[in-house]
Amino acid sequence: MKANNDDCRGLTRRQLLGLATLTSAGLAAASVGVPEAKAAPKPGEQHEPLEDFKHDLEGSEGWVGEGGSAKESTVKQLPVATSIAGVSMRLKPGGLRELHWHAIAGEWAYVVKGNVRTTVISPNGEAAQDDFGPGDVWFFPKGHGHALQCLGPDEAHFILGFDDGHFSEFGTFSITDWVGHTPSNVLSQNLGLPESAFANFPKSEAYILPGQVPPAAAQEPLRQINQQANQSPHKYRLDASPALEFPGGELRIVSQKEFPIQNTLTGVTMLLKPGALREMHWHPNADEWQFYLSGRARITIFGAHGRTKTAEFGPGEVAFIKQGFGHFVEQIGDEPTKVLILLKSPVYEEINISTWLAANPVAIITDNFGITKELVDRLPKKSIVIAAKIDSSSSA
């Protein structure tokens, strides 16, 4: 007979509560059939292989128009990525991503290059206009109306992240689509112009269209004079924020704590020096979406039942790691690797294997691995996070 603790393995919470109730009522546990342990490994049991977790976003076909282009990564292209979708968008100088909103998703963005101006309206009438450059982040909560325009002088490129993997950039609620499908008598009554004034409005969605480069320095005034001031900034300068430095690289993290309006996601940029290792870790509260900005790396995920899966990533490719799945990232090549990361929670959480092992008594670790105390003493006593390249001459 195993110890009681072992007997509880595999019981559901409801079964455990039932057991506690019966015990407290003076009934012997013998009257409760203890189900077969489910959490314990069973030799020979078959498990589904881990799903593919890679999509070549930049290598995919997208939408191309006169004012810009867009490519997307949703559950259609990467079925495992149910909670986060991504878009790579480019706008030519003056190019306008028209006034629109997203019914099912909040929008996060990181500017890779160029300059972009956003306008946004919140449900309580606060309006904002902000200019963004490389390394800056914006966030528009679900349903807020917004538009994007490239300020020039060069093309702007930015990566958009949406907090729902089923979101498609090609099914947004655009103002031309709505107006173009509304009777002109309704438009006339609503907007106070004669019906004839709407004859030349677009009849279908414009999406991205060429436009005039707006004034570069001063912001244009909004059409409404007494606009309420914006109370919750949509802009966060991620690359201008202080980095967390580690031997093998650095992290910049923006959670809701630093950027209050960003209420569904956490954004991260990770820089890995050549040969570095983002250590074995997992995120207890969040799925993880990665976009490779530059350099190469190899990710290995761990999904229990002896299942691991490895894939290699380079610029323009997307990775998705499910909540709670173990993973590590090995940098590849002589150039540093820069990765944009989104986590599907406004609160940042991670557990690193080095921290975990340091947070246990020596005896537990010796018993768990069957190793000597001397070896345990050589394990890290604090978090590694990003390990530097191993000097092969000293790693005998």
Q: Annotated catalytic sites, by residue?
A: 97, 100, 102, 107, 146, 169
In the complex, what is the shortest distance from the CB of residue 255 to Fe ion, in angstroms, rounded to a whole number?
A: 14
Residue (19 or 50) nearer to Fe ion, CB: 50
**Tokens (6 digits) for 13:** 């919470």
* Nearest residue (CB) to Fe ion, 171 versus 274: 171
Smallest separation, CB 109 to Fe ion (Å): 8
- Whichever of 138 and 198 has its CB closer to Fe ion, that residue is 138
Within 92-131, which residues bind Fe ion (CB under 5 A)?
107
CB of 48 to Fe ion, least distance (A): 22
Alpha carbon of residue 130 to chain centroid = 22
Q: Is 118 helix (H, G, I), strand (E, B) or coil?
A: strand
Strand locations in 316-372 (E): 317-321, 326-332, 337-343, 351-352
Compute how many residues bind Fe ion; rule: CB under 5 A. 2
Name the minimum Å distance from CB 373 to Fe ion. 31
Q: Which is nearer to Fe ion, 107 or 177 (CB)?
A: 107
State the residue number with the nearest CB to Fe ion: 107
Closest CA to 315 of 342, 291, 288, 347: 291
Question: How far, in Å, CA of 133 to CA of 115, rounded?
Answer: 5
The rounded distance, in Å, linking the Cα atoms of 92 and 304 is 46
Which runs of consecutive H residues, i.e. helices, occur in the chain? 4-7, 13-24, 175-180, 184-191, 353-358, 362-369, 373-377
CA dist 176 → 72, 194, 356 (Å): 21, 18, 54
Bridge-partner residues for 299, per DSSP? 311, 329
Q: Footprint of Fe ion on residues 273-302 (CB under 5 A)?
A: 288
Verify binding: residue 177, Fe ion, rule CB under 5 A: no
Comparing CB distances to Fe ion, the nearer of 108 and 198 is 108
Min dist CB 47 to Fe ion, Å, is 23
- Residues lying near Fe ion in the complex (CB under 5 A) are found at 107, 288
